[in-house]
Structure 1
Amino acid sequence: MGFTVTLYADNLQAPRTMMYAPNGDLFVAQSRAGSVVILRDNNNDGIPDTRYNYAQGLNGVFGMAIHDGYLYLGRTDSIIRYKYKDGDTQAQGTPEKLVDFPTGGHSTRTIVFSRDGKKMYVAVGSMSNKSDGEDPVRAAINEYNPDGTGHRIFASGLRNPVALTLYPGTDTIWTSVNERDTLGDDLVPDYITSVKDGGFYGWPYSYIGSNYDPEHKGKRPDLVARAIVPDVLIPAHSAAVGLTFYTGTQFPERYRNGAFIGLHGSWNRSKLAGYRIAFVPFQNGKPAGPLEDFVTGWILNGGNPGTAWGRPVSPYVARAGSLLITDDVANKIWRVRYNGGR
Structure 2
Amino acid sequence: MKFAHKYAGMRYVAPLSVLLLAGGAYAADSGQQYGPNPELPEPQRGLLPNMTVPEQAQWGDMKPTVPDGYTITAIATDLKVPRQTLVLPNGDILVAEGKGGGNAPKSRPKDFIAGLIQSQGTTAVKGGDRLTLLHDGDGDGTFEEQTVFAEDLNAPYGLALVDDDLYVANQDALVRFDYQEGQTQASGPPEVITPLPSRINHHWTKSLTAGADGDYLYVGIGSNSNITERGMAAEVDRAEIWEIDAETGAHRAYATGVRNPTALTIQPGTDELWAVANERDELGPNLVPDYLTSIQDGGFYGWPYSYWGQHVDPRVKPENPELVESAIAPDYSLGAHRAPLGVDFSNAAVGEQFANGAFVGEHGSWNRADPVGYKVVFIPFEDGQPAGDPVDFVSGFLTDDGKTRGRPVGVTVTPDGAVIVADDMTNAIWRVTRDDANAQPTERDAPEDESATSNGASTTPEDEQMPEDGYAGDR
Give the TM bin, normalised by the shorter chain.
over 0.9
1:230-277 Cα offsets, whole Å, 9 max, x none, are 11101211101100110241412x322311100001122211111011
1:70 and 1:330, CA in 2 relative to 1: closer, same or farther beyond 3 A?
Answer: same
* 1:124 aligned residue: 221
User: Of the candidates 65, 69, 72, which is equivalent to residue 160 of structure 2?
Assistant: 65
Q: CA deviation at 1:294?
A: 2.1
Q: Which residue of 2 aligns with 1:189?
A: 289
The alpha-carbon deviation at position 148 of structure 1 amounts to 4.3
* Larger relative helix fraction: 2
Q: Which amino acid aligns with 1:24?
A: G
- 1:91 matches 2:171: no
Query: Partners of 1:321 and 1:338 in 2: how far apart?
Result: 8
Tell me the percent identity.
43
**Among 96, 119, 125, the residue aligned to 1:29:** 96
- Cα separation, 2, equivalents of 1:154 and 1:113: 13
Check whether the contact 1:168–1:257 (CA below 8 A) recurs between aligned residues: no
Q: Which amino acid aligns with 1:289?
A: G
The equivalent of 2:204 in structure 1 is 107
Larger Rg: 2
1:260 and 2:359 correspond: yes
Letter in 2 for 1:320: D
Aligned with 1:335 (options 418, 431, 447): 431
Query: What amino acid maps onto 1:14 in structure 2?
Result: V
SS at structure 2 position matched to 1:159: coil
Q: Give the residue type in structure 1 aligned to 2:244.
A: Y
TM-score by length of 1: 0.94
Partner Cα separation in structure 2 for residue 334 and residue 9 of structure 1: 7
2:412 aligned with 1:313: no
- CA positional deviation for 1:115: 1.4
Instruction: Please give the alpha-carbon distance, in whole angstroms, between the structure 2 residues aligned to 1:107 and 1:257.
Output: 31
The CA deviation at 1:217 is: 6.7
Give the secondary-structure state (helix, strand or coil) at the position aligned to 1:249: helix
Amino acid in structure 1 at the alignment position of 2:423? D
**Retained in 1: the 8 A contact 2:347–2:415?**
no
Partner residue in 2 for 1:9? 76
Deviation for aligned residue 1:301: 4.5
Q: Does 1:177 align with 2:277?
A: yes
Which residues of structure 1 form unaligned runs of 5+? Answer: none
Indicate if the aligned counterparts of 1:251 and 1:337 stay in contact, CA closer than 8 A.
Answer: no
Residue of structure 1 in register with 2:314 after alignment: 214
Superposed CA offset, 1:16-52 (max 9, x none): 1111222221111112211101001101102211112
Aligned length: 336
RMSD: 1.6
Partner in structure 2 of residue 323 of structure 1: 419
Whole-angstrom CA distance in 1 between matches of 2:348 and 2:95: 20
In the alignment, residue 153 of structure 1 is paired with which amino acid?
A: A
Q: Is the 8 A contact 2:302 2:328 kept in 1?
A: yes
Q: Measure the CA separation in 2 of the matches of 1:155 and 1:9.
A: 36
Distance 2:74 2:333 in 1: 30
Match of 2:32 in 1: none
Partner of 2:145: 50
CA distance in 1, matches of 2:143, 2:434: 20
Q: How does 1:69-84 map to 2 (within 5 A)?
A: 69-84=164-179
Instruction: Compare the two structures and name the one with the higher strand fraction.
Output: 1
Once residues 78 and 152 of structure 1 are traced to their aligned partners in structure 2, the CA distance between those partners, rounded to angstroms, is: 15
Deviations along 1:120-166, whole A, 9 cap, x unmatched? 11111111111162444211110111034331110010000011100
Q: Secondary structure at the match of 1:85?
A: coil
Distance in 2 between residues matched to 1:59 and 1:172, nearest whole Å: 29
Q: Letter of the aligned partner of 2:340 in structure 1? A: A
Deviations 1:254-306 (A, max 9, x none): 32231110000112221111101111111221112122322211112433xxx
1:158 maps to 258
> How many angstroms apart in 2 are the aligned matches of 1:112 and 1:43?
29
Secondary structure of 1:5's aligned partner: strand
Query: d(CA) in 2 for partners of 1:294 and 1:69?
Result: 33
Query: Partners in 2 of 1:301 and 1:251 — Cα distance?
Result: 28
User: CA 1:339–1:89 in structure 2 vs 1: closer, same or farther (change >3 Å)?
Assistant: closer
User: Within 1, Cα distance between the matches of 2:400 and 2:358?
Assistant: 29
Distance 1:95 1:321, change over 3 A: same
